[in-house]
Structure 1
Amino acid sequence: METFSSIECFVRSAEVGSFAEAARRLSLTPAAVGKSVAKLEARLGVRLFQRSTRSLTLTEAGKLFLGEVSASLHTIQNAVANLASTEGRPAGTLKVSMGTVFGRLYIVPMLGEFLRRFPEISPDWHFDNRQVDLIGQGFDAAIGGGFELPQGVVARRLTPAHRILVASPEYLARCAAIEQPEDLQHCEGILIRSPQTGRIRSWALTSRTRQQSPLNLKARMTMSDSEAACASAAQGLGVALVSMPFAVGYLNAGTLQRVLPGWYVDDGNISIYYAEHKLLPGKTRAFVDFVIEQFAEQGLEQRFSAV
């Protein structure tokens, strides 16, 4: 059991690159984690980390050992967690990351039904528009779009991530007719700045017949959030390029209308992400299956499609 604990300390330290952060996640002291790893190195007869006052990096032997034991450690931990669940039902803290507005509008309303089905699960939900380190930061799952897929993480598609052009009826009534993508160059644009990079991305419009056209929309203002862009466009301030899930409510209310409804931006998919394990924790499996089920039952994939 002491060796198992030492391996857990080693794996956590390797994942986060710090004895102190590993100790925080394991509810131990940094000294205890360092001592445990040192005992493991003595038992194996090799140095697993190169240590300095500023960094903790794996040696070649450490990289090799991590590759051998990491997956097995997670499988054993998941098996123990599943066995320890209340009478075999999914239980435990469920740590999930999701976009702030998307999560509030579409995932939080599912919470009541989810807890009715799985009352032993305790949600720990984090709302952030940036991609998290799913494994390194100890998340069970994440929901979002446009994320890179790190090694050891899998994705289940929920809906296409389409962006559309919208404007208020008042704005469209006073500006020149917009019939082709080229007509957008004369409009006042409300553009989205990436919260990750701080830059305004160059988008290509796609037609329903899969034609391509550059998006030439001069910036009148920039936002880092589609909900804010929708609210600005609803005031008659210009044409906004926004994510479909945020536009749906405004379109249904009639405060916004689609501009060039035959064109949209294809930005990949919105997916649910989780760590790939041979034995997925019951709480994670329950959440993933539930969200996929709810997207299907509520027809969200169709509602969020711009086609």
Structure 2
Amino acid sequence: MEALNLLESFIQTAETGSFSAAARRLGLTPAAISKNVGRLETHLGVRLFQRSTRRLTLTLGGEQFLRQVSEPYAALQAAFASVAQDEGRPAGVLKVSMAVAFGREYLVPLLGEFLARYPAIVPDWRFENRTVDLIADGIDVAIGGGIELTEGVVARELARVHVVATASPAYLKGRALPRHPSELASFDGIARRSSSSGRVRTWTLRNQIGEQALAEPRMRAIFDDPEAMAHAAMQGLGVALLPMPHAAPWLQRGALVRLLPGWCADNGPIALYYPNRRQLPPRTRVFIEFIVEAFQRPELLLRFDGR
């Protein structure tokens, strides 16, 4: 087992490019990872990494060794995971990353059903409004929208997300409801700034017969978080163009009212993202299958579809 531990430290360091990233993935200290790699180099009689204050790169010998051991190591991992299953059931810690509001509203309610099916799996769920690096951060699955695919990561779409116009009953009191997106120009608006580009988003709404029009309320406030936009709209600050996952809970409770029924914008998919491994650990595979199955339920899909 000691040789496997040394090998694991080497492979994780090679994949992540640093002792610190490998340490985060394995739950060790960078010093321990460095020591393990050093011991492996001593055992092999080959320097595996070129070290400097700024970079850590594989040597030619390190590159060759990585090619030789990667597939056998992956096979060993799969074998250990299979043997470690509790009475033939998937087991182990499952690391999943998701946005705070989305995870709380849509994924936590599914957790009881999932654990009833797979009681030997321990969820380690990270609620964070940032794009994670699955490989560097050692995450099994990420769930979200707009995540850029990188090498070694695949996506599986769960649902299309639509953006709809919303406002509070208090804000709409005494106002004539808009009949066309262009009429939103006379309403106060809570705009959204893209956290990646820094630009204020504008939306072109479409209806079922293919007409399209710009929806551009006059700017009253700018936020970079749709959940905050929803809360500001409920306070009567103006119209918020919200993704359906953030609008649906408040529309159902009557805290927000949908404007322009039948008009919406496509905001892209919500998807599962996971490493493109030849053999996924059983706990990861069954979680992916469970979430895909759950998102095929009509009552859940309706909370994403603004058409």
For Structure 1 versus Structure 2, the TM-score category normalised by the shorter chain is 0.7 to 0.9
Do the aligned residues in 1 keep the contact of 2:205 with 2:212 (CA within 8 Å)?
yes
Q: 1:275 offset after TM fit, Å?
A: 1.4
Do the aligned residues in 2 keep the contact of 1:79 with 1:281 (CA within 8 Å)?
no
Q: Does 1:252 align with 2:262?
A: no
Supply the RMSD in Å over aligned alpha carbons: 2.7
State the SS of the aligned residue for 1:261. Answer: coil
Q: 1:116 offset after TM fit, Å?
A: 1.4
User: Residues 231-290 of structure 1: CA distance to partner in whole angstroms, max 9, x if unpaired?
Assistant: 221232211011101211222223322222232121110111211222211111121111
Do the aligned residues in 1 keep the contact of 2:243 with 2:267 (CA within 8 Å)?
no
Range that drifts further, 59-68 or 175-184: 59-68
**TM-score computed with the length of structure 2 as normaliser:** 0.87
Q: 1:60 offset after TM fit, Å?
A: 6.4
Q: Describe how 1:131-210 pairs up with structure 2 within 5 A.
A: 131-175=131-175, 177-210=177-210
Q: Describe how 1:61-100 pairs up with structure 2 within 5 A.
A: 62=62, 66=66, 69-70=69-70, 72-100=72-100
Identical aligned residues as a percent: 50
User: Residues 205-251 of structure 1: CA distance to partner in whole angstroms, max 9, x if unpaired?
Assistant: 33323444333233201223222222221232211011101211222
Which one-letter code corresponds to 1:269 in the other structure? P
1:291 equivalent in structure 2: 291
Q: Does 1:233 align with 2:233?
A: yes
2:34 equivalent in structure 1: 34
Do the aligned residues in 2 keep the contact of 1:189 with 1:218 (CA within 8 Å)?
yes
Residue ranges of structure 1 left out of the alignment (5+ in a row): none
**TM-score computed with the length of structure 1 as normaliser:** 0.87
Do the aligned residues in 2 keep the contact of 1:194 with 1:201 (CA within 8 Å)?
yes
Going from structure 1 to structure 2, the CA distance change for 1:24 and 1:225 (only over 3 Å counts) comes to closer
1:125 equivalent in structure 2: 125
2:303 equivalent in structure 1: 303
2:107 equivalent in structure 1: 107
User: Residues 109-142 of structure 1: CA distance to partner in whole angstroms, max 9, x if unpaired?
Assistant: 1111211111111111110121111121111111
Query: How many corresponding residue pairs?
Result: 307
Going from structure 1 to structure 2, the CA distance change for 1:75 and 1:298 (only over 3 Å counts) comes to farther
Range that drifts further, 263-272 or 229-238: 229-238
Going from structure 1 to structure 2, the CA distance change for 1:256 and 1:27 (only over 3 Å counts) comes to closer
Residue ranges of structure 2 left out of the alignment (5+ in a row): none
Range that drifts further, 40-49 or 241-250: 40-49
1:16 equivalent in structure 2: 16
Going from structure 1 to structure 2, the CA distance change for 1:66 and 1:181 (only over 3 Å counts) comes to farther
User: Residues 179-220 of structure 1: CA distance to partner in whole angstroms, max 9, x if unpaired?
Assistant: 222222222111123344544234333332344433323320
Structure 1 stretches (4+) deviating beyond 6 angstroms? 42-46
User: Residues 48-98 of structure 1: CA distance to partner in whole angstroms, max 9, x if unpaired?
Assistant: 433112332345665676566545533431331122111211111111111
